[in-house]
Amino acid sequence: MKLDAKLSHKSVSDVIERMANIKQVKFTKLDEATAFENGKLLLDTKVTEKLREEWLIRELVREVQSRRKQMNLKVTDKIKLHLPPEKIYKSWRNIIEKKTGSKIVFGELRGEKTEFEFEDEVYWFGVVK
């Protein structure tokens, strides 16, 4: 049995955004795109400063969660997350605290110090239970 289902651009966009973890899907006519059996595809691979910041914050959150696991902490255990007083961390403070179950303390790093690398740079944070 062959099914022929027509999906709206909106529903297709929603699925693609969720499954591919991308910000935005646009349907448009393109001259320069990679052709494949069912159409054409064009990927905008420019990394803007805003996208780079979000990428760094997601990496920080992932590293903090990994450190929490190494410390055998429960999801309900609150921590103090020590970060350097950099503008990027201050502007993303609420999101970082919410996603890591932490209260951020800016200044000297204390507790379980951890480093991680992002785009060939080393970043540090500290965790105190």
Q: What is the pLDDT of residues 16-49, one digit of tens each?
A: 777 666 777 776 666 666 666 766 666 677 888 9
Lowest mean pLDDT across 27-36, 54-63, 75-84, 112-121:
27-36
* Per-residue pLDDT at 6 exceeds 60: no
Q: How far apart are CA 83 and CA 68, in angstroms?
A: 15
106 compared with 27, residue with greater pLDDT: 106
Inter-CA distances, 69 with 18, 75, 77, 100, 102, Å: 26, 9, 11, 11, 14
Please name the helix (run of DSSP H) or strand (run of DSSP E) that holds residue 124, with its range, or none: strand 121-128
pTM of the model: 0.73
Q: How far apart are CA 73 and CA 79, in angstroms?
A: 9
* Per-residue pLDDT at 80 exceeds 80: yes
**pLDDT band per the 50, 70, 90 thresholds, residue 52:** very high
Inter-CA distances, 61 with 14, 34, 90, Å: 25, 35, 14
Q: How far apart are CA 115 and CA 121, in angstroms?
A: 10
Any idea which residue has 């595809």 for tokens? 41
Q: Are 54 and 89 in contact (CB under 8 A)?
A: no
